[in-house]
Amino acid sequence: MSIVCPECDNPLDIDVDDVEEGEIIQCDECGIDLEVVSSDPLELAPVDEEDYGDEDEDLPLDDEEDE
């Protein structure tokens, strides 16, 4: 089974028996991360690498001191 990178059309040499759904593989050519969305037939989808959850946490400091 031959499949090409959806990003750069580089033929990817993937052994279907070697991957499973949900696995992330990387294209040698463009370095994009591809998720195996289906193993039969083999189907890949580019993984969106958006950095969510990396916001600055600006927690207000409660600096109360009881005396």
Residues that bind Zn ion (CB under 5 A): 5, 7-8, 10, 27, 29-30
Q: Which CB atom, from 1 or from 31, has the smaller least distance to Zn ion?
A: 31
Choice between 23 and 54, CB closer to Zn ion: 23
DSSP string spanning 20-62?
A: -TT-EEE-TTT--EEEEEEETTEEEEEPP---TT-----PPP-
Residue 7: count other Cβ atoms within 10 Å of its Cβ: 15
Q: Which is nearer to Zn ion, 1 or 30 (CB)?
A: 30
**Minimum CB separation from Zn ion for residue 46, in Å?**
9
